[in-house]
């Protein structure tokens, strides 16, 4: 979690149409105009504000106490639930209580602990390699730039954005499956290409609130706007959603 450069117009969602202006799918083709972008920004602000009321406490669902531990936890979360990762990391960080200890760890010992997270051989190799890279290249510190974070083993834009937002308080958009699914339904973005969605959301979201918004989307996606049979009848965003009631 190589990327191609995309045009801004490629990221624009389609708006609901008035009668006579729509295609077969009932949605107006986005023209990429300043007026259209302003309209989406206004709706995005309303959505962000509404979710802040519903979920006043926004935080990462992965447990950690040091920045490098969040890097490791996110690596473990690939194809695994955060809840399961949180049952594994206490033992991992107790057995190897420092970055240096993990860098020197035997792969077999790490594999045994993280086995419940799946893909344990690949993840163990990545984690040990990551710790060694942090020590050899960054003096044991987690780097604070997207470019440097992306050079680390197993780290993609989703994890890099999480680190930048949660650890360093930088404007960040964490495009996980919840974010992409929900923002497409809400008409804030189009498609499931994580990089394109990130670029689009950076255009329309208030970026000083974007990182916490992404955490709120996770809670909202688990409780209400689920992948299958979303609970549209009790959704706090139903009046702002382009697909309210259509996927239930």
**Residues 14, 28: Cα–Cα separation, whole Å:** 6
**Dihedral sign computed on CA atoms, order 228, 234, 236, 238:** positive
For this structure, is 5 an active site residue? no
The reply to whether 225 sits in an annotated binding site is: yes
For this structure, is 10 an active site residue? no
Q: Which DSSP helix (H) or strand (E) runs through 27?
A: strand 27-28
CB 65 within 8 A of CB 97: no
The reply to whether 235 sits in an annotated binding site is: yes
R_g over Cα of the chain = 20
Hunting for tokens 């670029």 — which residue is that?
A: 199
Strand partners, 16: 27
The reply to whether 183 sits in an annotated binding site is: no
- Active-site entry in 123, 158, 193, 212: 158
CB 131 within 8 A of CB 141: no
CB 242 within 8 A of CB 186: yes
Which long-range contacts does 8-11 make (Cβ < 8 Å, 24+ apart)? Answer: 8/32, 8/199, 8/203, 10/196, 11/189, 11/190, 11/196, 11/197, 11/199, 11/200, 11/203
The reply to whether 232 sits in an annotated binding site is: yes
- Active-site entry in 82, 125, 144, 176: 176
CB 226 within 8 A of CB 237: no
3-state helix, strand, coil in the chain (%, to 5): 55, 0, 40
Instruction: Show which residues are catalytic.
Output: 158, 176
As annotated, the binding site for [4Fe-4S] cluster includes 225, 232, 235, 241
């Amino acid at each position: 979690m190589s990327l191609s450069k995309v045009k801004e117009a490629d990221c624009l969602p389609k708006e609901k149409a008035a009668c006579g202006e729509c295609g077969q799918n009932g949605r107006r083709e986005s023209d990429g105009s300043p007026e259209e972008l302003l309209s989406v920004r206004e709706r995005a602000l309303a959505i962000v504000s509404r979710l802040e009321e519903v979920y006043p406490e926004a935080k990462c669902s992965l447990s950690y106490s040091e920045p490098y531990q969040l890097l490791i936890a996110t690596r473990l979360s690939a194809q695994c639930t955060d809840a399961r990762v949180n049952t594994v990391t206490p033992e991992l960080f107790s057995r190897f209580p420092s970055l240096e200890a993990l860098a020197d760890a035997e792969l077999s010992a790490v594999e045994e602990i993280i086995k419940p997270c799946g893909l344990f051989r690949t993840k163990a190799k990545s984690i040990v390699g990551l710790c060694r890279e942090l020590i050899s290249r960054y003096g044991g510190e987690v780097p604070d730039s997207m470019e440097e974070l992306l050079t680390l083993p197993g780290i993609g834009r989703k994890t890099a954005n999480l680190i930048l937002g949660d650890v360093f308080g930088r404007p960040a958009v964490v495009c996980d499956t919840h974010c992409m699914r929900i923002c497409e339904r809400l008409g804030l973005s189009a498609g499931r290409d994580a990089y394109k969605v990130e670029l689009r959301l950076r255009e329309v979201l208030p970026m000083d609130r974007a990182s916490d918004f992404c955490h709120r989307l996770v809670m909202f996606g688990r409780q209400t706007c689920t992948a299958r049979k979303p609970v549209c009848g009790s959704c706090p965003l139903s009046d702002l959603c382009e697909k309210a009631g259509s996927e239930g």
